[in-house]
Amino acid sequence: MTDTPTPPTQPQAPTISVLRQFIKDLSFENPGAQTQEPPKIEMGIDVGARGFEGRENTFEVVLKINAKATAADTPLFLVEMEYAGLFQLNGMSPSDTEAMLLIECPRLLFPFARRIIADITAEGGFPPLRIDPVDFSALYAAQKQATANPAPDGSGQGSAQA
């Protein structure tokens, strides 16, 4: 009887699973002002992530988007949304996990959040607000740089923002 060599075990490839995604909070304010001039839009995007209690390698990622439209200093609308996803990450180092949570997970959530905001602004009587694609890698890099080099007043950023 001969011993057959066992094949070397392959390292587990990193995986990401979207367990669920949902609107966590949504607010749309429409003061009713209508104007013929093009509105000025102010946008803000923030990404946060935290471990999901009781489930190993499971995280909640929240994409916060806010947009305010004004024309001639008259408010047209304000939309604020927190769109969240529950993700399970396996086979990653802690540094890879952080990057995955703040870059890839928001990238997966963004198209759905973008569509909801376009629909809600259209339902509010305005042209749909089409948000340009977001470079979450650049947001993450800016956050890492801000954390490494805090502002002179000590107000370094604690999450990825645009």
For 11-24, what is each residue's pLDDT tens digit? Answer: 678 899 999 999 99
CATH code: domain of residue 20: 3.10.420.10
26 within some domain: yes
Using only C-alpha atoms, the chain has a radius of gyration, in whole angstroms, of 21
- Sign of the torsion angle spanned by Cα atoms 68, 69, 70, 76: negative
pLDDT tops 50 at residue 157: no
**For residue 43, which of 60, 68, 24, 18 has the smallest C-alpha distance?**
68
Is there a domain that residue 100 lies in?
yes
Residue 3: inside a domain, yes or no?
A: no
Residues 111 and 155: their CA atoms lie apart, in Å, by 31
**What digits encode the pLDDT tens for the residues 101-130?**
999 999 999 999 999 999 999 999 888 999
Q: How does residue 161 score in pLDDT terms, banded at 50, 70 and 90? A: low
46: confidence class by pLDDT, cuts 50, 70, 90? very high
Identify the CA nearest to 144 among candidates 81, 102, 85, 82: 102
Residue 134 lies in a domain: no
Q: How many CA atoms lie within 13 A of 115 on its CB side?
A: 7
The answer to whether the beta carbons of residues 130 and 115 sit under 8 Å apart is no
In the predicted model, is pLDDT for residue 94 greater than 90? no
- Amino acid 159: pLDDT: 52
Specify the pLDDT at position 154.
Answer: 47
The reply to whether 120 falls in a domain is yes
Contacts of 56 (CB under 8 A, 6+ apart): none
Note whether residue 4 is domain-resident: no
Residue 24 lies in a domain: yes
Number of structural domains found in the chain: 1
**What is the span of the domain harbouring residue 115?**
15-127
What pLDDT shows up at residue 73? Answer: 82
Within a domain: 136 = no
Task: Among 29-33, 67-71, 104-108, 156-160, name the one with the lowest average pLDDT.
Answer: 156-160
